[in-house]
Structure 1
């Protein structure tokens, strides 16, 4: 019933958005209110933007603030750097924030390799190496959190702390992935038109969706890499997360050696969009430890 209600709400909003005029300011997926005029266009800000060569592609990232570095990683497929705006706004007051557009998203190229989490972890490692010699805290949501898991496991010297939001144990085949342009545009056409305008290779969008669907349908994430992570990890999720159900999040928490767990009551997968104050209050003590 809860999932059905979410779908009906999402479908109704998608119809309403499709009737509106294309927004001039950046938006995140399924955004219900216009971005304020003073909002920083995270993910498309020439004043803060940089590129780094990472394997077979160029990765786009932006840097804000000063202090201990924090890498911010957005979600996948429908994710964007802009969706993480509340994190960047809050963290940049006391930290150096490195906001990465992962391969195939925003201004980052898609590359020619399969967009695995191992590959994305190496992309992020290249960004970190280009910005700082220090180890970093990583904050990732969904796809970004899984990338964070792999990065922390493969480069323990680079990650001193990880906040993973909406990313549980992933058993092969537990979800069906068949991402195509028609279905995505049906959910939020304005968002994807905006994203295609940012992409350096928009003609490869359908090819990218096929590659992602094939990979997501075949991947399995459990004791490897989770048990190999040695840094402190705060595993977070909304109680009603439909993409990473509660039991999978708890399973991931139990597999990570030095993990803490935070569940936000009544919140869905994009928990930070639904209840940012609660999420921020829960994660702040972990960041200060």
Structure 2
């Protein structure tokens, strides 16, 4: 065991057993503006970095009902979908995963509707719609079922995909996505608040969008949807594939009790909690996340 990372992995059994391997990781997550830009920014951080989410060499579009959805394909092997976070998320935030996974898998990195080069569509960007978008891409790329890795909003989309199309998902890794009870938090994102957070990033995103003039309309519809939704046993209990539910111990968007609740609702779930880590846990402690998910993928 490498002494530079910490992780907790819990298989689903009749009784809950915690096997805790705790070793302190030196990396700390900063909430200052520079760290946020390092998290969100579309511009590659090094000369050799691939501009994920804006790479014409790997990019494709598919018509999914009312929207053209953009995706990129990297590597060869078993197909594995990568789904980024919502609103402030982009394919580029998943760079470490894509870099690592493309060595042994065919990685399909999707920009979900309303993000990056994907259109917004005409209706509410619900998880049902986004799951159908993803299913359309699966059908376009492979005849095989797929592995799925989703973060935050991408993990919720993956839950709905696995529940609605069980034949398409072999395994699912869901990071930062717990049970969701209506009204547990209020979503009131606006152009003003997001640009105050990081104007450079959102100017970059608007430049990629096929319909930037609809950004405010899209934000309003997302807020309304997030404020009204419930995600619990009705969806999670239908997921039959093996699921690795992962989160940072101090995830502010998916609090620990909601993550454990989601884990307990799925019949074939495993749980991995990264100590002392926030919502973007893979940016804080990627070695621990990788060490936890790799055995799950290879089982």
Q: TM-score, normalised by structure 2?
A: 0.88
SS of 2:294's partner is helix
* Partner secondary structure for residue 77 of structure 1: coil
Deviations 1:15-48 (A, max 9, x none): 996xxxxxxxxx64169x9701110000000000
Equivalent-residue separation in structure 2 for 1:66 and 1:16 (angstroms): 32
Q: Which residue of 2 aligns with 1:13?
A: 33
Whether 1:194 aligns to 2:194 is no
Matches within 5 A, 1:173-184: 173-184=183-194
Residue number in structure 1 paired with 2:88: 78
- Structure 2: how far apart are the matches of 1:96 and 1:104? 24
Distance in 1, matches of 2:163 and 2:123, equals 21
In the alignment, structure 1 residue 206 sits paired with structure 2 residue 220: no
Within 2, Cα distance between the matches of 1:61 and 1:78?
Answer: 18
Q: Distance in 2 between matches of 1:267 and 1:34?
A: 24
The aligned residue for residue 113 of structure 1 is 123
Give the counterpart of 2:40 among 29, 45, 65: 29
Deviations 1:196-227 (Å, cap 9, x if unpaired)? Answer: 00000000000000000000000000002100
CA distance in 2, matches of 1:60, 1:16: 25
- Aligned pairs for 1:96-111 within 5 A: 96-111=106-121
Q: Which residue in 1 is equivalent to 2:270?
A: 260
Aligned CA-pair RMSD: 1.6
Residue 234 of structure 1 aligns to a residue whose secondary structure is strand
Given the alignment, which residue of 165, 180, 187 partners 1:170? 180
Q: Any gaps of 5 or more consecutive residues in structure 1?
A: 1-8, 18-26
Taking the aligned partners of 1:277 and 1:150, their CA distance within structure 2 comes to 28
How far apart are the structure 2 equivalents of 1:125 and 1:278? 30
1:16 to 1:264, Cα distance in 2 relative to 1, 3 A: closer
TM-superposed CA distance for 1:235, in Å, is 0.1
- In structure 2, runs of 5+ residues without a counterpart are 1-29
Q: How does 1:217-228 map to 2 (within 5 A)?
A: 217-228=227-238
For the residue of structure 2 that corresponds to 1:178, the secondary structure is: coil
Report runs of 4+ in structure 1 exceeding 4 Å deviation: 14-17
1:72-94 C-alpha deviation (Å, 9 max, x unpaired): 00000000000000000000000
Alpha-carbon distance between aligned partners in 1 of 2:280 and 2:47, rounded to the nearest angstrom: 23
Distance 1:45 1:247 in 2: 38
TM-score scaled by length of structure 1? 0.91
* 2:180 and 2:230 in contact (8 A); partners too: yes
